[in-house]
Chain A
Amino acid sequence: MIRDITIGQYYPSNSVLHRLDPRVKLIGTFIFIVSLFMFNTLYGYIVVALFLGAVIKLSKVPFRFIARGMKAIVVLMLFMMFFNLFFTPGNTIFELWIIKVTDNGLRQAVFMGIRLIFLILGSSLMTFTTTPNQLTDGLEKIMRPLNHIKVPVHEISMMMSIALRFIPILLEETDKIMKAQMARGADFESGGVLKRAKSLIPLLVPLFVSAFRRANDLAMAMEARCYRGGDGRTKMKPLRYQGKDYAAYACVLVYFAAVIALGIFGDQLF
Chain B
Amino acid sequence: MEMIKVKDLSFEYIRRDEDGNVESINKAIDSISLEVNKGDFIAVLGANGSGKSTLAKHINAILYPTEGGVWVNGLNTAEDRNLWEIRQTAGMVFQNPDNQIIATVVEEDVGFGPENLGVPTEEIWERVEQSLEAVGMLEFRNSSPNKLSGGQKQRVAIAGIMAMKPQCIVLDEPTAMLDPNGRKEVIATVRELNRRENVTVILITHHMDEVIHADKVFVMERGRVMMEGTPREIFSRVDEIKKYRLDVPQVTELAYELKKAGVDLPDGILTVEELVEAIKRIKSR
- Name A residues whose Cβ lies closer than 8 Å to a Cβ of B: 10, 12, 131-133, 161-162, 164-165, 168-169, 214, 217-218, 220-228, 232-238
Please state if B91 and A224 are interface contacts (CB–CB under 8 Å): yes
Which residues of B have CB within 8 Å of A218? 99-100, 102
Which residues of B have CB within 8 Å of A223? 62, 87
Which residues of B have CB within 8 Å of A165? 101-104
Please state if B84 and A226 are interface contacts (CB–CB under 8 Å): yes
Please state if A225 and B99 are interface contacts (CB–CB under 8 Å): no
Q: Check A132/B104 contact, CB under 8 A, given A226-B84, A236-B121.
A: yes
Q: Beyond A10-B104, A223-B87, A234-B118: 9 further Cβ-contacts under 8 Å?
A: A12-B105, A133-B104, A168-B146, A221-B100, A221-B102, A226-B87, A232-B118, A236-B114, A236-B125
The one of A169, A225, A238 in contact with B161, judged by C-beta atoms closer than 8 angstroms, is: A225
Most interface-central of A161, A169, A224, A228 (chain B CB within 10 A): A224
Which residues of A have CB within 8 Å of B84? 226, 228
Decide if B111 is an interface residue (CB 8 Å cutoff). yes
Which B-chain residue is minimally distant from A215 (CB atoms)?
A: B99
Which A-chain residue is minimally distant from B90 (CB atoms)?
A: A224
Which residues of B have CB within 8 Å of A12? 105, 142-144
Which residues of B have CB within 8 Å of A214? 96, 98-99
Please state if A228 and B116 are interface contacts (CB–CB under 8 Å): yes
Which residues of B have CB within 8 Å of A228? 84, 116
Please state if B98 and A169 are interface contacts (CB–CB under 8 Å): yes
Please state if B124 and A234 are interface contacts (CB–CB under 8 Å): yes
Smallest CB-CB A-B distances: 10 pairs:
A221-B100, A236-B111, A217-B99, A224-B92, A225-B113, A226-B116, A236-B124, A232-B118, A214-B99, A227-B116
Which A-chain residue is minimally distant from B163 (CB atoms)?
A: A225
The one of B87, B108, B117, B118 in contact with A224, judged by C-beta atoms closer than 8 angstroms, is: B87
Which residues of B have CB within 8 Å of A132? 103-104
Q: Check A220/B102 contact, CB under 8 A, given A236-B124, A238-B121.
A: no
Please give the distance in Å from A174's CB to the nearest CB on chain B.
14
Please give the distance in Å from A130's CB to the nearest CB on chain B.
10
**Assembly CA distance A12 to B101 (angstroms):** 18
Q: Check A131/B60 contact, CB under 8 A, given A226-B113, A238-B121.
A: no
Please state if B94 and A221 are interface contacts (CB–CB under 8 Å): yes
Please give the distance in Å from B199's CB to the nearest CB on chain A.
16
**Assembly CA distance A165 to B120 (angstroms):** 25
Please state if A225 and B87 are interface contacts (CB–CB under 8 Å): yes
Decide if B12 is an interface residue (CB 8 Å cutoff). no
Please give the distance in Å from A179's CB to the nearest CB on chain B.
18
**Assembly CA distance A132 to B104 (angstroms):** 7
Count of residues in B whose CB is under 8 Å from the partner chain: 40
Which A-chain residue is minimally distant from B110 (CB atoms)?
A: A236
**Assembly CA distance A218 to B109 (angstroms):** 13
A-B contact count (CB 8 A): 98
Q: What would be 8 A-B contacts, judged by CB atoms less than 8 Å apart? A: A12-B144, A131-B108, A169-B98, A214-B98, A225-B160, A226-B87, A236-B111, A236-B125
Which residues of A have CB within 8 Å of B114? 234, 236
**Assembly CA distance A220 to B87 (angstroms):** 12
Please give the distance in Å from A139's CB to the nearest CB on chain B.
15
**Assembly CA distance A161 to B112 (angstroms):** 13
**Assembly CA distance A226 to B98 (angstroms):** 19
The one of B98, B104, B118, B160 in contact with A233, judged by C-beta atoms closer than 8 angstroms, is: B118
**Assembly CA distance A132 to B62 (angstroms):** 28
Decide if B70 is an interface residue (CB 8 Å cutoff). no
Please state if B108 and A237 are interface contacts (CB–CB under 8 Å): yes
**Assembly CA distance A223 to B100 (angstroms):** 10
Please state if A235 and B115 are interface contacts (CB–CB under 8 Å): yes
**Assembly CA distance A232 to B73 (angstroms):** 24
**Assembly CA distance A133 to B113 (angstroms):** 14
Which residues of B have CB within 8 Å of A131? 103-105, 108
**Assembly CA distance A217 to B157 (angstroms):** 13
The one of B94, B101, B105 in contact with A220, judged by C-beta atoms closer than 8 angstroms, is: B94
**Assembly CA distance A84 to B74 (angstroms):** 71
Which residues of A have CB within 8 Å of B160? 225
**Assembly CA distance A76 to B264 (angstroms):** 77
Which residues of B have CB within 8 Å of A225? 87, 91, 112-113, 116, 160-161, 164
Most interface-central of B100, B104, B112, B144 (chain A CB within 10 A): B104
Decide if B279 is an interface residue (CB 8 Å cutoff). no
Decide if B88 is an interface residue (CB 8 Å cutoff). yes
Please state if A235 and B94 are interface contacts (CB–CB under 8 Å): no
**Assembly CA distance A12 to B144 (angstroms):** 8
Which A-chain residue is minimally distant from B123 (CB atoms)?
A: A234
Decide if B258 is an interface residue (CB 8 Å cutoff). no
Please state if B102 and A222 are interface contacts (CB–CB under 8 Å): yes
Please give the distance in Å from B92's CB to the nearest CB on chain A.
4
Which B-chain residue is minimally distant from A227 (CB atoms)?
A: B116
Please give the distance in Å from B142's CB to the nearest CB on chain A.
7
Please give the distance in Å from A203's CB to the nearest CB on chain B.
20
